[in-house]
Amino acid sequence: MMGSTDKIDFVMPWVDGNDPEWQKEKAKYRPSAMDDSDTPVRYRDWDNLQYWFRGVEKFAPWVNKIYFITWGHVPSWLNTDHPKLCIVNHKDYIPALYLPTFSSHTIELNMHRIKGLSEQFVYFNDDMFLLNDVKPTDFFVNGKPCDTYGLNCVYFGHDSAGHFNGSNLEVINTEFKNKHQLMKKNFRKWYSLKNGARVVFKTMILYPWEWFPGFHYNHLPSNFTKATFAAVWEQYGNVLDKTCRDQFRTESNVNQWLMKYWQLCTGECVVRSDRIGECFHVKEENFDRLCQTIRRQSKKMVCINDTPRTLDFDNKKKTVQECFELILPERSSFEK
């Protein structure tokens, strides 16, 4: 079994939605009818990526490598010669039959194919940031990823990811038919108070159902092993292949949450409270609290999720930058 001192890599995909060459290629394949997941909000630039690198250097200096996934462009300020930084083009690891792709699902579901990637890795979206010191054991313990065990119900609504979760659960409930047996086997994990009282209560309420109705999820960095990806591809390659053949996200797709749920069902996780971080779907009523969380560094990590309900974007972007500048004012070695 791998130890907690083994290498841990960070992986993050990034796209420059303002790149005219990328826009030109995307337009060649754009379907006539697109879902909400491909709206311009998904590519709107908060101009805060430099603070992600500053946060990693200051708060996670132990990280082995950073795999920065890109269509082909990189920020002009990025020091691509940094010894810990590996620039990964889609064509470097995604099978050719799935390219070109404009779907985050294809980019995510093939991450285990990245050459040189360590067995243990943490997957970040480009809106997830470190705000305070983190340890390797915040992510992995004895080779097992840390996560919160909890059941929940899938929400299906406008501008939600419910349809992706529905597809994920179709696989989960096909593979893991003995829900009660699996949960009893890992009783201490599912009902650990480390998960949080509210999470445990939901799990208790939803336990009687014979199938998994959904899982607790907080939109924060995800901890994975390559072995999990390989296992899901081996057993459900036809499902993943179907998703990866879609050049844009479609409602029938599965996504990387499937791997997270798979790890929970197999019990291959160490319990960790999700209070380690918080996701803010940015809107008027929570924006002040987001800024306060950054300034006070009251969480170890945060997600700043842009949505169609994020109003007055330019002013909010400026304010968030100012908050980051208070806690991470110095350039990192990842910047030229």
- What is the DSSP track for 211-234? S---B---SS-EEEEHHHHHHHHH
The burial of 58, by beta-carbon neighbours within 10 Å (0-12 exposed, 13-18 middle, 19 or more buried), is given as: middle
Distance of CA 228 to the CA centre of its chain: 15
- 188: Cβ contacts below 8 Å, ≥ 6 apart: none
Structure tokens of 58?
């200051």
**Domains of the chain and any CATH numbers:** 8-327 (3.90.550.10)
Chain centroid to CA 88 = 17
DSSP 8-state symbol, 151: B
| Residue spans of beta strands (DSSP E) within 109-264 | 120-123, 128-130, 140-141, 144-147, 222-225
Predicted pLDDT of residue 74: 95
pLDDT (0 to 100) of residue 159: 72
Q: Where are the beta strands (DSSP E) in 66-168?
A: 66-70, 85-89, 120-123, 128-130, 140-141, 144-147
C-alpha torsion angle, residues 34, 37, 41, 43 (rounded to 10):
-90
Provide block-wise average pLDDT over 10 residues at a time, the chain (336 residues). Answer: 69 92 89 50 78 98 98 95 98 98 97 98 97 98 97 85 92 97 97 96 97 94 98 98 96 96 97 94 91 98 88 91 97 97
- pLDDT for 36 equals 46
Q: What is the pLDDT of residue 267?
A: 96
- Residue 8 makes CB contacts below 8 A (sequence gap 6+) with 62, 63, 64, 118, 120, 121, 122, 136, 139, 140
CA angle 231, 90, 246 (to 5 degrees): 70
Q: Which of 273, 299, 277, 274 is nearest to 193 (CA)?
A: 273
